[in-house]
Structure 1
């Protein structure tokens, strides 16, 4: 592959002159510029778009805006983003929105004002306000959640299918009253997982009941309160689909207080294969998402956008989750 030094040698000029000519600087003599152009064509030299884009910006920093830095799922995404960004010479600024639209908006404004090279975000809602980034022409890639407010690349997991398959698994294991601890309305992954829960029940010929659904924050406290409400009913569920591992911690706390054991008394399937899920007894059946790979792909897509080599149209990549069956869903 030809280098800028090869072009300079063939054209009989310095590499600095080649660089100025390729960037359209008016200080380059037209005769020299023509020699550079002929050398580029003869050698088939392709300028490094990423490097040229970097020179036009003030900083080689990406922003990663996630909803909960304590959630192992987002921690794994962050690691995937950083691994890929560091290899390309970029640093990553980690921003924790706490599912708060005002806090998220402040981070978006900072990223735009500081002329960061690009932003990867897990938007708080599908309508999250990213106008400051669009106004500055800052590339955006979303991860885990969709963003309707902007036409940008997205890296997602098919949460709806994964939730449906989890419910089918519980049905196959003989559980009769399957409830769902779902995330807040308006968050695309929360809505998708609830839809998948309903799909699974329909496929099994089961009736849908709003009394077996609790929507709450993606936090331990949300899972705890939802489980307490469901499991202290006169007709409690015998199985739960839980929408995140942080919620699952709260669910298990509530079950311990009530003297209930997963698998034996209540079947449990939770999204996300957090490190602790194999350290409890019985071990937790999970829907494992490829979080690290999602972060890596999101970073590669963003770097392509920064370098000008991305797809002409915005892309959506949907990855598959994996159901890992363990003791908590086994009677």
Structure 2
């Protein structure tokens, strides 16, 4: 059976453009409309009108599209979404993109084709294309990372959290803090980098930033290079819990003790942070609450009760101080 993706490929346009063209959307270039219709006719594509109309009456399924199910932050977000969805009578389809833009695009296409009632998305980057949802009238709420287009958005206070964490390191007497962060097209981690840089500049300290790709060794290589350099850092701010694990791994390999030889503070209060020795200081995000609030907003959008303009909610972060960043002087 010919699918909409086949038409898109034949017409050399996006699935969203095919959907808009076949639904007589006035914003589509007439040249593209003609190309899409010609491709659809040539391939024999016929939308299933009965199934489409049934779906438009209201499916009871949401798509939750996140970037990394192994990240405890997203696990907590997913729990918040699911709990509120169940209360409202919806089921949740969990989609894990593995920080892969192509996988994210496919999941968005599936969500549109299946006419889900709504989508909650943690985008891979600021330029993720969600136009296919708009073309199909599917409400969208974005969590954690902002898009460069208008959409309902809920996140934690990343910049402020990084400022609190870096100020704490300096108050404890660490004078060469470094920031271990993610690719620069990831909005949330960029906010954390900027918070770090704001503090060290105000204190006249050197800036040391290392960008670590997703799905690597947890930043171990970058941290190893830092410590092997001519002017190694005496403390580290890591922008997520996976990088914090990488930092602890390398520090332990070198025989260094957090809090005495090096200060370490990370983002997200994962369950393991209290069982390492010493326990890890963190900037805790209200991950469950972010998911729950995203679900509440999506329900309002589905029911046509939300505000006319997209809403942005930035939820407070909390600095939790433990032994990894509190400086213990050598005797």
- Regarding TM over 0.5, the answer is yes
Q: Is the 8 A contact 2:218 2:245 kept in 1?
A: no
**Aligned with 2:251: secondary structure?**
helix
The equivalent residue for 2:129 is 129
Pick aligned residue for 1:276 from 272, 276, 281: 272
The 5 A counterparts of 1:128-277 are 128-149=128-149, 151-208=150-207, 212-219=208-215, 221-277=217-273
Q: How many residues align?
A: 275
**Aligned with 2:64: secondary structure?**
strand
Deviations, residues 82-113 of structure 1 (Å, cap 9, x unaligned): 00000111000001111111110000000000
1:63 and 1:220 map into 2 onto residues whose CA distance is: 27
When the two structures are superposed, what TM-score results if normalisation uses the length of structure 1? 0.80
Structure 2 unaligned regions, length at least 5: 1-53
2:140 and 2:238 map into 1 onto residues whose CA distance is: 30
Bigger shift: 101-110 or 248-257? 248-257
Bigger shift: 214-223 or 176-185? 214-223
2:206 and 2:277 map into 1 onto residues whose CA distance is: 32
Structure 1 unaligned regions, length at least 5: 1-53
Q: 1:219 to 1:254 in 2, by over 3 A?
A: farther
1:124 and 1:55 map into 2 onto residues whose CA distance is: 28
1:303 and 1:112 map into 2 onto residues whose CA distance is: 18
**Aligned with 2:135: secondary structure?**
helix
- Quote the offset at 1:220 in angstroms: 6.4
The equivalent residue for 2:83 is 83
**Aligned with 2:293: secondary structure?**
helix
The equivalent residue for 1:327 is 323
Q: 1:219 to 1:251 in 2, by over 3 A?
A: farther
**Aligned with 1:132: secondary structure?**
helix
- Quote the offset at 1:309 in angstroms: 0.3
- Quote the offset at 1:315 in angstroms: 0.4
**Aligned with 1:327: secondary structure?**
coil
1:245 and 1:55 map into 2 onto residues whose CA distance is: 40
Q: Is the 8 A contact 1:163 1:193 kept in 2?
A: yes
1:220 and 1:136 map into 2 onto residues whose CA distance is: 36
The equivalent residue for 2:62 is 62
1:306 aligns with 2:302: yes
Note the aligned Cα RMSD (angstroms): 1.6
Q: 1:274 to 1:218 in 2, by over 3 A?
A: farther
1:160 and 1:148 map into 2 onto residues whose CA distance is: 18
Deviations, residues 123-179 of structure 1 (Å, cap 9, x unaligned): 111110112111101100001110113x21100112011101110000000001110
Which one has the largest radius of gyration? 1
The equivalent residue for 2:15 is none
2:185 and 2:59 map into 1 onto residues whose CA distance is: 34
Q: Is the 8 A contact 1:218 1:247 kept in 2?
A: no
Q: 1:309 to 1:206 in 2, by over 3 A?
A: same
1:116 aligns with 2:116: yes
The equivalent residue for 1:23 is none
Q: Is the 8 A contact 1:220 1:250 kept in 2?
A: no
When the two structures are superposed, what TM-score results if normalisation uses the length of structure 2? 0.80
Q: 1:207 to 1:250 in 2, by over 3 A?
A: closer
